[in-house]
Amino acid sequence: MAGGGRGAGESALTQDEAVARSAVISDVHYEVELDLTTGDRTFGTRTVAGFHASSSDTVVHLDFVGEVESVECNGRRSGPDAFDGRRVRLDVREGWNSVRVSGSASYSHTGEGLHHFRDPLDGNVYVHTKFEPFAAHTVFACFDQPDLKATVDLTLMVDPSWVAVSNTDPEEPPPSGGHRATWRFARTPPLPTYLVAFAAGPFRVLRSRHRDVPLALYARPSLYDELNAEAPELFDVLGRGLDFYETLFDLPYQFAKYDHVFAPEYAFGGMEHPGCVTLNERFLFRHRVTEDARRRRASLLTHEMAHMWFGDYVTMRWWDDLWLNEAFATMLAVVAQPEATPYGEGWTSFAHHDLPLARRADQLPTSHAIRVSTADTDAARSNFGPIVYRRGAAVLHDLAERVGWENFVAGVRAYLRTHAWGNAGLDDFVAALRRFSDADLDRWVDEWLLRPGINTVEVCRDAGGARVVQNADPRVEPRHLAVRVAAFDYRGVELVPRTPVDVSVDPPACEHGLTELGGTEPDLVIPNADAVSHVKTRLDSRSRQAALRSLSTVDDPRARAVVWGALWDEVQDARLSARSYASAVLAHGTRERDVGVLEALLERASRAALVYGDPATGHDTVTVLARSLREHLVCADGGSDRQLAFARALVGVVPPDDHGLLGDVVCGRSPWAGLEVDRDLRWRALLRLAATGGDVDDLVDVAMDADPGDYGRRNALTAEAACPSPAAKDKAWTRLFSGDHSLAERQAIMAGLRRPGQETLLTPFVDRYWHALESLAGTAETEFLSSFARALYPCFTEVEESVLEETDRFLERKPLPESVLKVIREERAELLVIRAARACDAADAQH
């Protein structure tokens, strides 16, 4: 694979190794000098690591992947056997040590390490780093673990036309002229290696200031217009966010500046490097977006900003406590929303967008605790998912409700002060909180942080009345729950609320009667109606009927979010047919006023129709969906966000007999007054046209003309791979394994290759998938392997039984790193969901 020989899992660091190393090493400082003028494939790297060792009896190593030219330990040159391809063995002495490692390393094309990107429009090169969880050592020799924080003096030698940006400012402007410019950055405060960052290239820069904190935004020149257009809103959120967090934590921002770099082909959404946050370019909007996209971007900015305190200032010791970074940042971004952004209260959209993903992840065979034992850095990769981020945020929110917000904040402040610039773990956080709360924190930790899985709460009705019941699931022990129950009665065609009641469900008792609601039995009962407890809500059959018939008459948006989530869970549990769900969205979801909620529901309705619908009759659902969306488009106000949301949804489900509409959109002709067809809508239409067998040969060029450059190129790769012909699929598969494609381009190809509705065409790729995984083991980067394993798992074939059997055989042999096997386990579970959901939909079709 392109990007050098970093084979999957070959250089993982175990927790035991990390613990042993940090027991001996302290006071680390790195002088790092990188020469980025030596060509497109490799760069020169030289590190001088200074550190204190408490003993000379232990073997200590520096992590490094690359070519080593020389190693000098305390003035003595080491022999060639000191480097085994991933580690440099050191003969340390007690006291101060100085080690010099010189050599070269490879650029990556996966987004991890030092990513190299060439802009196809102008040939300009941009590089940026992403080291989390374990890639700093693919750029410079270091102790690559979070609890060996170090100060860093970084020097970059780059093309003189480039701009370089890092965690700190350059000490002086680099001298101009000559073949290369030398950028020396000021010494950093103590940082874990995964937070050291830089980017370089002919970026454009916009600067501002908030009080005494300099702010800057970096982007490619081809995005400079977008940067200018978006800068006022970005700077506004940054300024308000800094004020909010400084007040909340009672602690000033600790770094000297606050920059954002929009990096091409960035692998995450964003990354919280202190002083130098890196963001995916998709947040520098190149086309029209709805207000919800702006809200989500603001949420990303405030998430990364929360890390400046949670993660950057006080850092987890090891990856098992990643929740101390990510659960906190996710939760705090929701809390910050009304204060630091124009978008108001955040928990309702969190319930709509985030909680369903957390519940899904919790029901997979790979579900794990929020604080998860993490044997090595390969396993650490699997921690970056909905359980740590989203379930983590949900249970922290619940914790804050239990102990009281004031006490929670006091505990957080004490935690940050006690561990300033250092490392901490679960026990440290609990100890800080205990000073301000007498709640049973040990029980909370045991039930919510250390116990995997999700409990289901439902209302049972029988002769004795209604009760809230915590379901007896053999895999998940019951937890102590505080649950708000909302109840509604029909008055005419509308559901009218009663006064909600708060009930506790305390094990070993797993139920609570609902006599407090009073009166006769309500028509709709919603347990956990405020979405505060992290449980799965299941509606009883009478409530479900009421919801499907009248959900839009429920006034409370949070309660509606809970019901929408419960209905979506039911589709994935094969208890509600895809067509019933889509009908509910058309009847009630289209009345949701929040455009983000509308978009999420339309997206789920489309997925229900295309993926979870019965293949034999599911096209009926698609046709009904498309027809109804057309009607909504006629009524939507020209130029409104709702019009855009309906248009995007329609373009994704246009039936094959309506290719004329899609062709018009690709050519930029808008069928809807007031809605301008932009690049994004063109590509969506082209993809649907391609996937449903339309002739796209000339239209790809039309769309590329309107959007040349790397975005257009990736979209064209997706569309071409989506075409339903054996030749197109073969071509896409060959492309995947040939040429010099970046991971982002390969992901674009894979997104087109596997499409629902193309089962016959995809069946021959089942064997190819398994063979490719076998042959890639040990040679391909883990990032590509994981993407490949997920994106091309044979979900849509005519041989599902044999796919499941082959999956089991493959998993038993364990030929790949655990983080990749985990992906395959999850995809197997999704295949089972698809099969059951399709059968449920088929059964409904016969009624």
Range in contact with Zn ion (rule: CB under 5 A) among 10-18, 128-136, 146-154, 326-334 = 326-334
| Least spacing, CB of residue 327 vs Zn ion, in Å | 9
Q: For Zn ion, give the closer residue by CB, 390 or 512.
A: 390
Terminal Cα distance for the chain, rounded: 52
User: Does residue 563 belong to the site contacting Zn ion (CB under 5 A)?
Assistant: no
The least CB distance from residue 309 to Zn ion, in Å, is 12
Omega into 133 within 30° of 0, i.e. cis?
A: yes
Minimum Å distance from CB 303 to Zn ion? 6
Helices 765-776 and 800-813 sit at what angle, rounded to 10 degrees? Answer: 10
Residue 766's nearest CA partner among 793, 746, 786 is 793
Q: Which residue number, 259 or 326, has a Cβ lying nearer to Zn ion? A: 326
Of 395, 505, 415, the residue nearest 457 (C-alpha)? 505
* Of 16-24, 324-332, 576-584, 769-777: span binding Zn ion (CB under 5 A): 324-332
Nearer to Zn ion, 326 or 800 (CB): 326
Q: Is residue 308 close enough to count as binding Zn ion by CB under 5 A?
A: no
The contacts of residue 619 (CB under 8 Å, 6+ apart) are 655
Residue 152 sits at φ, ψ, to 5 deg, of -130, 130
**What's the CA gap between 170 and 187, in Å, rounded?**
9
HEC secondary structure over 298-353: HHHHHHHHHHCCECCCEEECCHHHHHHHHHHHHHHHHHHHHHHCCCCCCHHHHHHH
Centroid of chain to Cα 803: 28
Contact region for Zn ion (CB under 5 A) — 319-327, 369-377, 605-613, 643-651?
A: 319-327
Query: Alpha carbon of 358 to those of 227, 354, 526: distances in Å?
Result: 33, 7, 19
> What does the alpha-carbon distance between residue 680 and residue 686 come to, in Å, rounded to a whole number?
10
Q: Which residue has the tokens 């789920």?
A: 604
Considering only residues 188 to 207 of the shown chain, the ones binding Zn ion according to CB under 5 A are: none
**Residue 207 DSSP SS3:** strand
Residue 762, classed as helix, strand or coil, is helix
Closest approach of Zn ion to the CB of residue 280, in Å? 13
Closest of 719, 728, 770 to residue 748, by C-alpha: 719
Between vectors from CA 472 to CA 471 and to CA 475, what angle results, nearest 5°?
A: 115
**How many whole angstroms separate alpha carbon 784 and alpha carbon 450?**
31
Stretch that binds Zn ion, among 253-261, 283-291, 323-331, 410-418 (CB under 5 A): 323-331
Query: Is residue 306 part of the contact set for Zn ion (CB under 5 A)?
Result: no
Token representation of residue 107: 């650029």
Q: Is 83 or 350 the residue whose CB approaches Zn ion more closely?
A: 350
Q: How many residues bind to Zn ion according to rule CB under 5 A?
A: 2
Per DSSP, the residues of 454-514 read: --EEEEEEETTEEEEEE--BTTB----EEEEEEEEEEETTEEEE---EEEEE-TT--EEE-
Show contacts with Zn ion in window 338-367 (CB under 5 A). none
The stretch among 318-326, 512-520, 709-717, 747-755 that binds Zn ion (CB under 5 A) is 318-326
Q: Which of 304, 458, 745, 826 is catalytic?
A: 304
Q: Does 717 bind Zn ion (CB under 5 A)?
A: no
Question: Which residue in the set 65, 329, 395, 789 belongs to the binding site for Zn ion (CB under 5 A)?
Answer: 329
Residue nearest to Zn ion (CB): 329
Cβ nearer to Zn ion, comparing 326 with 745: 326
- The answer to whether residue 8 forms part of the interface with Zn ion (CB under 5 A) is no
Nearer to Zn ion, 306 or 751 (CB): 306
User: Is 334 a binder of Zn ion (CB under 5 A)?
Assistant: no
* Residue 380 binds Zn ion, judged by CB under 5 A: no
Please choose, out of 321-329, 520-528, 575-583, 711-719, the segment that lies near Zn ion by the rule CB under 5 A.
Answer: 321-329
- Shorter beta-carbon distance to Zn ion: residue 397 or 741: 397
The reply to whether 477 belongs to the active site is: no
| Both tokens assigned to 286 | 């190149």
In whole angstroms, the minimum distance from the beta carbon of 195 to Zn ion comes to 11
Q: What is the DSSP string of 16-73?
A: HHHHHHHHHEEEEEEEEEEE--S-SSEEEEEEEEEEEES-SSS-EEEE--SEEEEEEE
Q: Least distance (Å) from Zn ion to the CB of residue 322?
A: 9
- Give least dist CB 325 to Zn ion, A: 6
Q: Packing angle between helix 541-550 and helix 557-572, nearest 10 degrees?
A: 110
Q: How far apart are CA 515 and CA 321, in angstroms?
A: 42
Judged by beta carbon, residue 200 or residue 329, the one nearer Zn ion is 329
Q: Does 49 bind Zn ion (CB under 5 A)?
A: no
277 or 329: CB nearest Zn ion = 329
From 328-336, 474-482, 688-696, 791-799, give the range in contact with Zn ion by CB under 5 A: 328-336
Q: Which is nearer to Zn ion, 326 or 376 (CB)?
A: 326
478 forms bridges with which residues in the sheet? Answer: none
Closest approach of Cβ 254 to Zn ion, in Å? 17
User: Which of 325-333, 613-621, 687-695, 714-722 is the region at the interface with Zn ion (rule: CB under 5 A)?
Assistant: 325-333
Q: Is 441 in the site for Zn ion (CB under 5 A)?
A: no
Of 432, 391, 380, 377, nearest in space to 409 by CA:
432
Helix (H, G, I), strand (E, B) or coil at 91: coil
Output 326 or 378, the one with its CB closest to Zn ion: 326
In the complex, the smallest distance separating the C-beta of residue 462 from Zn ion, rounded to whole angstroms, is 46
Cβ 272 to Zn ion shortest distance, Å: 6
- Report the C-alpha gap between 113 and 135 in whole angstroms: 5
Classify the phi-psi angles of 241: left when phi > 0, otherwise alpha if psi is within -120 to 50, otherwise beta: alpha
Task: Please state the closest distance from residue 549 (CB atom) to Zn ion, in A.
Answer: 41
CB-wise, 325 or 797, nearer to Zn ion?
325
Pattern 506-545, Zn ion, x by CB under 5 A: ----------------------------------------
Residue type, 400: A
| Among 826, 683, 19, residue whose Cα is nearest residue 368 | 826
Task: Establish if 333 lies at the interface with Zn ion (CB under 5 A).
Answer: no
Pairing mode, if any, of strands 87-90 and 60-63?
A: antiparallel
Q: Which range binds Zn ion by CB under 5 A, 101-109, 320-328, 588-596, 786-794? A: 320-328
> Which one, 310 or 568, has the nearer CB to Zn ion?
310
Q: What angle, 0 to 180 degrees and rounded to 10, lies between the N-to-C axes of helices 697-706 and 659-666?
A: 30
Smallest distance, Å, CB 700 to Zn ion?
37
Q: DSSP character for 536?
A: E
Measure the CA–CA gap between 844 and 267, rounded to whole angstroms: 41
The catalytic residues are 304
Which residues of this protein are in contact with Zn ion, per CB under 5 A? 326, 329
